[in-house]
Amino acid sequence: MAASCSTSLFLVFSSLLIFSSLLYVSEADYSAPITKGLSWDYHHKTCHKVEKIVRKHLKKVFDKDIGQAAGLLRLHFHDCFVQGCDGSVLLDGSHGGPSEQTAPPNQSLRKEAFDIIEDLRNLVHRECGRIVSCADIVALAARDAVHLSGGPDYDVPLGRKDGLSFATENATLANLPAPTSNATTILSALAVKNLTPTDVVALSGGHTIGVSHCSSFASRLYPTQDPTMEKTFAHGLKEVCPTNTTDATTAMDIYSPIKFDNKYFVDLMNRQGLFTSDQDLYTHKVTKPIVESFAHDEKLFFEAFVKAMIKMGQMEVLTGGKGEIRAHCSIRNPDNKAYFSYLVEEEDQSDLETRAELR
Contact 264, 256 (CB under 8 A): no
State whether residue 161 is helix, strand or coil.
Answer: strand
Contact 235, 223 (CB under 8 A): no
In angstroms, the CA 231 to CA 234 distance is: 5
78 included as an active-site residue: yes
231 Cα distance to chain centroid? 31
**Pairing status of strand 249-251 against strand 211-213:** antiparallel
CA distances from 192 to 135, 171, 200, 309 (A): 22, 14, 12, 16
Residues forming the annotated binding site?
Answer: 79, 82, 84, 86, 88, 100, 177, 207-208, 253, 261
Residues forming the annotated binding site for heme b?
Answer: 207
Q: What sign does the dihedral 218-284-301-81 (CA atoms) show?
A: negative
Angle of helix 197-204 versus helix 298-312 axis, rounded to 10: 100
* Residue of 78, 147, 284, 328 marked catalytic: 78
Residues forming the annotated binding site for substrate?
Answer: 177
Residues forming the annotated binding site for Ca(2+)?
Answer: 79, 82, 84, 86, 88, 100, 208, 253, 261
Ramachandran class of 96: left when φ > 0, alpha when ψ lies in -120 to 50, beta otherwise? left
Contact 167, 175 (CB under 8 A): yes
Contact 299, 62 (CB under 8 A): no
CA distances from 174 to 22, 108, 166, 184 (A): 39, 17, 14, 15
Active-site residue set: 78
